[in-house]
Amino acid sequence: MIRSVLSAAVLSVLAATSAAAMQGECLLKMNDRTVAEGFCHVLFYSGASYQIVGRSGEPTVMVNIDVSGDRAQAFWNGEERGAHAREPLGAVTQQQECWVNDRLRVCGWPPGPRPR
């Protein structure tokens, strides 16, 4: 009995923290400058949180959108393309497939023709 309860608890924690990954198209614009655009990997987490990761073989751009309740914060790995997206980009609001603020636009689309 304890083993089955423990297994169910572990599975529910894993399910709550797991991410679904897919290839798609991404856009990262900062201060009206396109930092990254085109093919990328998008990792979707529970809620509306997600991470975009650029193409392998290039300096990788990573952006995390962390959603908590009705608020969201954006972070990226910076101009130096560090290993973690910890540099804050500020509060963002959702506009269709994008998260935006005064200086930032982060978008992720599934494979196929993206809206222009």
- Would 9 be classed as within a structural domain? no
Does residue 89 carry a pLDDT above 80? yes
In sequence order, the 6+-apart residues with CB closer than 8 A to the CB of 48 are 65, 67, 72, 94
Q: Which helix (H) or strand (E) holds 8?
A: helix 2-17
Per-residue DSSP letter, 114: P
**pLDDT, tens digit, 9 for 90 and up, residues 13-60:** 333 445 677 788 888 999 999 988 888 887 777 766 677 777 665 657
Structure confidence by residue, pLDDT tens digits, 59-85: 578 888 888 888 999 998 887 777 778
Examine the pLDDT at 5 and tell me if it is beyond 60.
no
Number of domains the chain is built from = 1
User: Is the pTM for the entire model greater than 0.85?
Assistant: no
- Could you tell me if residue 101 is inside a domain? yes
CB neighbour class for 50 (10 Å; exposed up to 12, middle 13-18, buried from 19):
buried
Identify whether 80 is part of a domain: yes
32: domain range?
A: 19-109
